[in-house]
Amino acid sequence: MHEYSIVQSLLESCEEHAKQNEAKEVTKVVVKIGVLSGVEPDLLQTAFDTFKEHTVCHNADFIMNIQKIMIECHNCNTQSELEKNEFSCPKCKNTDIKVLDGEDMYLMSLEMN
């Protein structure tokens, strides 16, 4: 499960940010997870809960914002959020589209003390 390595990287980043800001602990970690990122939110939550012990995140809340697929149609220049993984423009049904968001995972914010 690559969620474990993702969480280890995330916790290292949290440690680094806490150190840079002279914080004793991280109280909240907020991430954005795209539905096409390949990250399984339930597994990520389990991995975070497992590995946060003995880190600056030991009491941190882990908030996951799930990002749907955002596209831009090259035919009608419309930006849309897809409800399903049907890769066509909801407005004109054209399949000549560009994915704008929903493919990645980002650390959005940290709250620290």
Please give the DSSP secondary-structure letter assigned to residue 68.
Answer: P
User: Is 2 annotated to bind ligand?
Assistant: yes
> Any binding-site annotation on 92?
yes
SS3 of residue 48 by DSSP: helix
Please tell me whether 73 is known to bind a ligand: yes
CB neighbour class for 33 (10 Å; exposed up to 12, middle 13-18, buried from 19): buried
Alpha carbon 85 to chain centroid distance? 18
Pairing of strands 79-82, 69-73: antiparallel
Assess contact for 105 and 30: CB atoms under 8 A.
no
Residue ranges of the binding site for Ni(2+)? 2
Residue ranges of the binding site for Zn(2+)? 73, 76, 89, 92
Residue ranges of the binding site? 2, 73, 76, 89, 92
